[in-house]
Amino acid sequence: MRVLSWLEFDQAVQILVEQLSSASFAGVYGVPRGGLCLAVALSHALERPLLAEPQPDALIVDDVYETGRTLESLHIRFPKANFVVWVSKRPPQWWDAVVVTDSSEWLLFPWENAAQALADEQTYLSSRGVG
């Protein structure tokens, strides 16, 4: 399990602020639950509203692009929105990422409960016949 820190989070937010400061979007939508911390931080740093629902002209953020199911369904609904994640486990196509990794390692984000993350990892692995 890879443990991500609040310092790494702050660094990721700063990188995204530098990349997005001149971009045009109505507000920031965070995919519940993992994208909410990143969305709040970017909303403050970019001085854009935090959106309760995704919009066609929004910045849509999540913590990780892993299987793609979550963001791909949003991308189909909102193809003109900007999409960004902290960590992508595959090379970005229509989304941007601060960190791109080919590692299948389970990620523990700083806002997550470590014991619950271990249980979630085991459930995930069991559902795929691993472990």
38: which residues sit within 8 A by CB, 6+ positions away?
9, 12, 13, 30, 61, 62, 63, 86
Fold of the CATH domain 2-127: Rossmann fold (3.40.50)
> pTM value?
0.88
The residues spanned by each domain of the chain are 2-127
Q: What is the pLDDT of residues 7-32, one digit of tens each?
A: 999 999 999 999 999 999 999 999 99
pLDDT average, residue stretch 29-53: 97
Q: What is the pLDDT of residues 65-117, one digit of tens each?
A: 998 999 999 999 999 999 999 999 999 999 999 999 988 888 999 998 888 87
